[in-house]
């Protein structure tokens, strides 16, 4: 079993004048290669801060973060940028698509940035966008798409360079229920097929049906970890409805 991500007692404090806000309070988690994990918790519980630190976009006040062989805190700013570009894929609430590039070009951009653009890469971009239901939209500009479609382009962009770790902050926020299930299932399939790892922050607990583990934060702290398929199913509210499809450990 390979550990893809390990955080050790990660603390993030913000100083607001006299007041110290503890956004993340000594959180230690471990995620294995091939694991897709949901990060849940009330608004303000530190989920986005946690993801931003794992992405190397924000430094912890204390504690360390290891991704594969690297410890983020030991890398220079330039090394961290390079590392993020190659090893991490992320999609945040604000999707940041480049407005003057087409859907396909936005996805290919991640390959160009890594010097990995090729015919095979382009085929892969088209395949990924097709799996996400955007086959007819490849040559449109982001402004010609709905919010939900833009969000799916952003998801394709997070996955195109085969990152070791995919981070998604509320990837289904602007999708309708059917589309949300489809997108999260595709997300889970891609992570499992390629033995990558993924963390998805979500408010919609129903989306937890596709994950291997649920990590719940409350007030910046790690509150609860749910690992058994049976408990995850119950948490996702599908216990009765999906019982036939779920394999139980016990
Ligand atoms: P979540 O994503 O779970 O809603 P956040 O990580 O965005 O939570 O925020 C966790 C806590 O940290 C909140 O109390 C929030 O107000 C605070 N916080 C987040 N970013 C900042 C910041 N830049 N400055 C001060 N406080 C912040
Ligand atoms: Mg958030």
pLDDT in tens, 90-126: 887 667 899 999 999 999 998 998 888 899 999 999 9
Q: Whose CA is nearest to atom 7 of ligand 1?
A: 48
Q: What is the DSSP string of 21-42?
A: EEEEEEEEEEEETT-EEEEE-S
Q: Whose CA is nearest to atom 26 of ligand 1?
A: 14
CA distances from 31 to 3, 6, 37, 101 (A): 6, 6, 8, 35
Q: Determine what percent of the chain is predicted with pLDDT higher than 90.
A: 72
Which residues surround ligand 1 with Cβ inside 6 Å?
14, 16, 21, 23, 41, 43-49
Domains in the chain (CATH in brackets) are: 3-245 (3.40.50.300)
- Which residue of 39, 43, 49, 170 sits with most ligand 1 atoms within 8 Å of its CB, as the best mutation to test the pocket? 49
For residue 52, give the ligand 1 atom closest to its CA: 6
Cβ pair 89, 156 in contact under 8 A: no
Q: Is the pLDDT of residue 53 over 50?
A: yes
pTM above 0.85, yes or no: yes
Which residues fall inside 5 Å of ion ligand 2, going by CB?
A: 48
Q: Determine what percent of the chain is predicted with pLDDT higher than 70.
A: 93
Mean pLDDT of the chain: 90
Lookup: tokens for 201: 């922050």
Q: At 99, is the secondary structure helix, strand, or coil?
A: coil
pLDDT at 1: 67
Q: At 118, is the secondary structure helix, strand, or coil?
A: coil
| Displacement of CA 76 from its chain's centroid (Å) | 24
Q: At 110, is the secondary structure helix, strand, or coil?
A: helix
Q: Which pLDDT band holds residue 246 (cuts at 50, 70, 90)?
A: very low
Distance CA(100)–CA(215), nearest Å, equals: 38
For residue 47, how far is its CA from the centre of ligand 2 (angstroms)?
6
16 forms bridges with which residues in the sheet? Answer: 19
| HSE, side-chain direction, 13 A CA sphere, residue 76 | 2
Q: Which pLDDT band holds residue 250 (cuts at 50, 70, 90)?
A: very low
Lookup: tokens for 208: 């937890």
pLDDT (average), residues 122-146: 94
pLDDT at 113: 87
pLDDT (average), residues 41-59: 94
Q: Is the pLDDT of residue 138 over 90?
A: yes
Q: Is the pLDDT of residue 211 over 90?
A: yes
Residues 15-29 pLDDT 10s: 999 999 999 999 999
Q: Which pLDDT band holds residue 239 (cuts at 50, 70, 90)?
A: low
Q: Is the pLDDT of residue 208 over 70?
A: yes
pLDDT (average), residues 220-230: 95
Q: Whose CA is nearest to atom 22 of ligand 1?
A: 14
Give residue for tokens 């922050």.
201
């Amino acid at each position: 079993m390979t550990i893809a991500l390990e955080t050790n007692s990660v603390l993030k404090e913000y100083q607001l004048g006299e007041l110290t806000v503890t956004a993340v309070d000594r959180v230690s988690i471990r995620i294995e290669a091939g694991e897709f994990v949901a990060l849940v918790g009330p608004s303000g519980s530190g989920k986005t801060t946690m993801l931003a630190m794992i992405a190397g976009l924000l430094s912890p006040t204390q504690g360390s973060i290891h991704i594969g062989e690297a410890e983020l805190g030991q890398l220079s700013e330039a090394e961290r940028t390079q590392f993020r570009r190659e090893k991490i894929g992320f999609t945040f609430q604000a999707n940041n698509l480049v407005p003057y590039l087409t859907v396909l070009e936005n996805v290919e951009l991640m390959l160009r940035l890594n010097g990995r653009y090729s015919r095979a890469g382009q085929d892969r971009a088209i395949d990924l966008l097709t799996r996400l239901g955007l086959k007819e939209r490849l040559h449109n500009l982001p402004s010609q798409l709905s919010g939900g479609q833009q969000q799916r382009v952003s998801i394709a962009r997070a996955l195109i360079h085969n990152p070791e770790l995919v981070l998604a902050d509320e990837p289904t926020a602007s999708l309708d229920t059917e589309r949300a299930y489809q997108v999260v299932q595709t997300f889970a399939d891609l992570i499992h097929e390629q033995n990558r790892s993924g963390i998805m922050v979500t408010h919609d607990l129903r989306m937890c049906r596709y994950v291997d583990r649920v990590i719940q934060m409350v007030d910046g702290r790690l509150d609860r970890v749910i690992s058994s398929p049976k408990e995850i199913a119950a948490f996702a509210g599908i216990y009765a409805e999906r019982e036939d499809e779920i394999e139980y450990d016990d």
